[in-house]
Amino acid sequence: MTKSELIEKVVQTHGMLNMKVSEALVNTVFDSIEDALKTGDKVEIRGFGSFTIRERSGREARNPKSGEVVRIPAKKTPFFKTGKELKERVNC
């Protein structure tokens, strides 16, 4: 499902909301999650899962074509852990 499909689903499910309001709603949710992760907060949605940031340390790797050693810098990566209820719903 894409973001636009999600917005259409919200419009179909809740007839009182038009496309513009539904788009603003979905964007607000995604932006809020993004802002929380940027500040280092954990986002937990009960029954769905939690979003956190994992820090990956820098390392050295090799370019497979030339064999040259390449330095890969440290970085932060978003991580999603599914909740128990979501796992059970998917596996039923």
pLDDT tens-digit map of 33-64: 999 999 999 999 999 999 999 999 999 999 99
Burial class (CB in 10 A: 0-12, 13-18, 19+), 2: exposed
Structure-block tokens of residue 91: 């596996």
Q: How confident is the model at residue 88 (pLDDT cuts 50, 70, 90)?
A: very high
Structure-block tokens of residue 72: 């890969």
1-45 pLDDT, tens digit per residue, is 999 999 999 999 988 999 999 999 999 999 999 999 999 999 999
Q: How confident is the model at residue 81 (pLDDT cuts 50, 70, 90)?
A: very high
Burial class (CB in 10 A: 0-12, 13-18, 19+), 79: exposed
